[in-house]
Structure 1
Amino acid sequence: METSLRAKSREPSKDTVFVEHRMDSNGLEKVILKELRGFSAEVYLYGGQVTSWKNELGEELLFVSSKETFKPPKAIRGGIPVCFPQFSNYGPLEQHGFARKRLWTVDPNPPPLAAVNTCKAFIDLILKNSEEDAKIWPHRFEFRLRIALGPQGELMLTSRIRNINTDGKPFSFTFAYLTHFQVTDISEVRVEGLETIDYLDNLQNKQRFTEQGDALTFESEVDRVYLRTPTKIAVIDHERKRTYVVKKEGLPDAVVWNPWDKKAKAMPDLGDRDYVRMLCVQAACVEKPITLKPGEEWKGRQQITSVRSSYCSGQLDPHRILLHGY
């Protein structure tokens, strides 16, 4: 009887609200996505950026800087910024490109995607080139972004970028979902799935190395671009006994970053101790830029899932996590 009552309580009623539009204290529009089991996500139209993702217990799973003020034209520090048309300083544009500093709009004509069939908590956004953008990146584009909560609370971001140049010219870009995971203590976190993978070390002038350990752990600053990585990566928070599973499509690389203490203190929009409770693991395309001819479209997708793990003194089976996502 108890099971049937619980199942019934998860059925949507006519009063169920899956998508809610709000304004924050600075007058910025944001969208709240809610899933029946209690998961939720917060999306700002400024930057087209996810700034919160909570589980069914209301626990925050994404990191946002303790100094973040949510005031344009500064980019939001934390959550999941979208890096386009350039990741970091891998090109001539400003770091991480301009998409994270633009005001996106709700897409009136979104393309059909499978996510609609499995969830009702989603929002479709669109960003188009402006005269301001053309001064620094002279191309016409349409960037469609769907952000959705799945039936198990998984957070899904799907990007479609189309070249709509009328001069016949192709364009190239690099890309990343700059995901800031909330962790309990960075020194007690490990990343699995990157073993034996080559990476570019941004702390050593982008020199190429090969990952030697059976997992990546953290004792100092890390800023690496792992190349041609598996489609699944596990981020294991020992202390919280929680595992984040990152699943990606169309994004061959993965970026891992933590600024550690000295750099954190030097960053004006990051708290001195914020580095302890955050880790960036980003689905990305960095090494080989994506090139689109006029009329061509690229699609890239990231899905992140939070699962309870029994990791304690090596008891977690990483093979099970990476293969099955739980």
Structure 2
Amino acid sequence: MGHSAAVWDCKAAFEVTKDWNGIDQIVLRNPQGASARVSLHGGQVTSWRNKQGEELLFTSNKAVFKLPKATRGGIPICFPQFGNCGSLELQGFARNKMWIVEDNPPPLPPNDSQRKSFVDLLLKSSEEDLKCWPHCFEFRLRVSLATDGNLTLISRIRNINGKPFSFSFAYHTYLLVSDISEVRIEGLETLDYLDNLSQRERFTEQGDAITFESEVDRVYLSSPNVVAVLDH
């Protein structure tokens, strides 16, 4: 991606640059050399590199970095729905919108910002959004990069007018792997899942790890907080 002259915000410890379409993106860095890039197009993390400079997120070479198309890769924000379960477009509309950097975000727990490079982004419902999803909201997203290189996303949804509404959301993360046949996923053993390739029929995971020999499209139920992706 192309860059403009960087601006350093000492308070929040991030750089503001431009991508090759002229859209602002936030660059987070830590002293050890890890980095992350967050585009204001979709509030989307488009790059996450470890201290060796190795990219950890996948972005398709067919990805379109231009509104109104969502970028295919990185970590798209799916809101107010994940999947295709209503009248809204697939995976919601938040990933197609322009977000803004919030200058004075509500405070989070003090230990969340200690020794981290972070940015707070904000998306508010627009008149266009209200036509297809009639609920006033504010979506706040904090993206932070710790000194150990860990990337953390924290989302908070605020109901503006007090009228109850339901929603779902997801961080639709694209992980970069060397070879899909060499990848194992651990932490989902014995869980039930819905198989989208079999009309969402329910099965129970039988293996001690998930491996990939053909297309896989599943929703695991009651999944744990920690899942390991092992790339040999």
CA shift, 1:69, in A, is: 3.2
Give 1:90's aligned residue. Answer: 85
CA shift, 1:206, in A, is: 1.5
CA shift, 1:129, in A, is: 0.3
CA shift, 1:163, in A, is: 1.0
AA aligned to 1:30 is Q
Deviations 1:250-301 (A, max 9, x none): xxxxxxxxxxxxxxxxxxxxxxxxxxxxxxxxxxxxxxxxxxxxxxxxxxxx
User: Within 5 Å, which residues of 2 pair with 1:1-326?
Assistant: 18-113=13-108, 114-119=111-116, 121-165=117-161, 168-238=162-232
CA shift, 1:108, in A, is: 2.3
Work out the CA distance in 2 between the residues paired with 1:109 and 1:200: 42
> Secondary structure in 2 aligned to 1:173?
coil
CA shift, 1:117, in A, is: 1.9
Deviations 1:118-161 (A, max 9, x none): 31x11000001000000110000010000000110000000000
CA shift, 1:169, in A, is: 2.3
Mark the structure with the bigger radius of gyration.
1
CA shift, 1:53, in A, is: 0.3
AA aligned to 2:18 is M
**Count of residue pairs the alignment pairs up:** 220
Retained in 2: the 8 A contact 1:145–1:158? Answer: yes
Gaps of 5+ in 2: 1-9
Work out the CA distance in 1 between the residues paired with 2:196 and 2:85: 10
Structure with greater proportional strand content:
1
Deviations 1:6-58 (A, max 9, x none): xxxxxxxxx9x941101112111101100010000000001000000001111
Report the TM-score when normalising by structure 2: 0.92
Report the TM-score when normalising by structure 1: 0.66
Q: Percent identity?
A: 63
Retained in 2: the 8 A contact 1:18–1:35? Answer: no
> Secondary structure in 1 aligned to 2:181?
helix
Retained in 1: the 8 A contact 2:36–2:145? Answer: yes
Work out the CA distance in 1 between the residues paired with 2:201 and 2:160: 36
Give 1:323's aligned residue. Answer: none
